[in-house]
Amino acid sequence: MTSAAAPLPGTSGRPRRLPASVTLPIAIFSLLALTPVYALIAESGYILELFTRVMIFAIAACAVDLLLGYAALVTFGQAAFIGLGAYAVGILAKHGIDEAAVSLPAALAVSALFAFATGIVSLRTKGVYFIMITLAFGQMAFFTASSLAPYGGDDGLTIASRNVIAGMRLFDRPLVFYYLALACLLGTFLLCRSLVASRFGRVLRGAKENPTRMTTLGFDVYRFQLVVYVIAGVLSGLSGFLLANATEFVSPAYMSWQRSDELIIMVLLGGMGSLYGAIIGAAAYLLAEEWLSGLTEHWKVIFGPLLVVIVIFTRGGLLGVGAALTRRWRRG
């Protein structure tokens, strides 16, 4: 009997481990795909609704991570795009238009136009001035929505029925809507990941570290940042489109600065600059909210200190915690 073939020179006999940037997204989307099976076994339709909401906000969190983690653009007005996408659905439904082929392009177009118009001005500023001007534009959208008396004003607008696709009420089926939301989240993740890995993403990361150097190399940093700002706005508009259909309700509260703050918290909680960390952060935040709010209405008093501990004592949020535990386990 001949002995087993020796490993090739320069290689070890151990099988290669896939990097976490590959295995974690596969695990996340596999778990999300199998969640309806668990909901069916547990006979709980609420689980399906909860994780649908998680995926909707994860889309917006990915958009924020694209800005915050890769372009160093801290915005407190991102929720305005969620609200715009949602109001596009609600206003069209108010006028008897419930076809998704009309509502979805309208939601994306309105979000893109608002992002372009506000981005042209906002990106002329830097640092705290950028934060404040995005907050101002977000509040402007909030108060505009609050003043729309024909569409509910402060009380919000109830949507008579969810959108239809080619006349079929697919959104009314919880399982179908769940997988549509999952498909949108997967598409968002792959789009953002391809952007980050492209030349476009390398320019953004370079501008994050040293914008003067990138300008000296001949790149128009302002134009690149404007494009990513519009892309993030469109993705948040997609989140708003799904949110309006999920809740069958639209409210100015969707545009509040507190909602923008929550999106930033989701990104920081999961791990900034990883995209799949934004998904983990959205899930952790919303599941913690669901659990803690069952204990007390002042759940943020408990959640706040936990978030502070994670941000201060760990690098990279929950992903950083997981990486540290993995290293310790391998050593021990």
Per-residue pLDDT reduced to its tens digit, 83-94: 999 999 999 999
The pLDDT, as a whole number, for residue 309 is 77
Six token digits for residue 21: 């940037």
Answer whether 158's CB lies under 8 Å from 249's CB.
Answer: yes
Q: What pLDDT digit, counting tens, does each position of 35-48 carry?
A: 999 988 888 888 99
Question: What backbone torsions phi and psi does residue 155 show, to the nearest 5 degrees?
Answer: -75, -15
DSSP state of 165: B
The pLDDT, as a whole number, for residue 299 is 80
With a cut of 70, list the residues of the chain below it in pLDDT: 1-17, 313-314, 323-324, 332
Rounded Cα–Cα distance for residues 300 and 288 (Å):
10
CA distances from 254 to 70, 188, 192, 258 (A): 25, 20, 23, 9
Residues forming a β-bridge with 250: 157
The pLDDT, as a whole number, for residue 294 is 79
Rounded Cα–Cα distance for residues 7 and 240 (Å):
53
The pLDDT, as a whole number, for residue 320 is 73
Rounded Cα–Cα distance for residues 225 and 208 (Å):
10
- Tokens 């608002």 locate to 114
Beta strands in 31-175 (DSSP E): 157-158
The pLDDT, as a whole number, for residue 15 is 57
The pLDDT, as a whole number, for residue 300 is 79
The pLDDT, as a whole number, for residue 3 is 47
What's the Rg (C-alpha) of the chain?
A: 22
The pLDDT, as a whole number, for residue 192 is 95
